[in-house]
A = this chain, B = another copy of it.
Amino acid sequence: MTRKIPDSTVRRLSHYLRSLEGFQEPGGTVSSEELAARGQTTAAQVRKDLSHFGSFGKRGLGYRVDELRAHLRSILGIDRRWRVALVGAGRIGLALFEYPAFRARGYDCVAIFDPDPEKVGTVRAGLVVHDPSGFEDAVRDLGIELVILAVPEGAAQEMAGRAVEAGVKGILNFAPIRLNVPPLVPVEDVNLVMELEALSFAITQAGHEE
Contact = CB atoms under 8 A, between A and B. Distances in A.
A42 to B, nearest CB: 14
A58 interface: no
Contacts of A61: none
Given A76-B200, A201-B76, A203-B77, A102 B193 contact: yes
Nearest to A150: B95
Interface in A160-210: 169-172, 176-178, 184, 186, 188, 190-206, 208-209
Contact of A198 (B11, B184, B208): B11
B82 A91 contact: no
Interface string A70-111: 000001111000101000001110111011011001110000
A95 to B, nearest CB: 4
Copies of this protein in the assembly total 2
21 contacts: A5-B205, A10-B197, A11-B194, A11-B198, A13-B197, A13-B201, A14-B193, A14-B197, A17-B197, A40-B178, A76-B200, A91-B95, A92-B95, A92-B96, A99-B192, A105-B193, A105-B197, A169-B203, A170-B203, A186-B198, A188-B198
Interface of A: 2, 5, 7, 10-11, 13-15, 17-18, 38-40, 75-78, 82, 84, 90-92, 94-96, 98-99, 101-102, 105-107, 145-146, 169-172, 176-178, 184, 186, 188, 190-206, 208-209
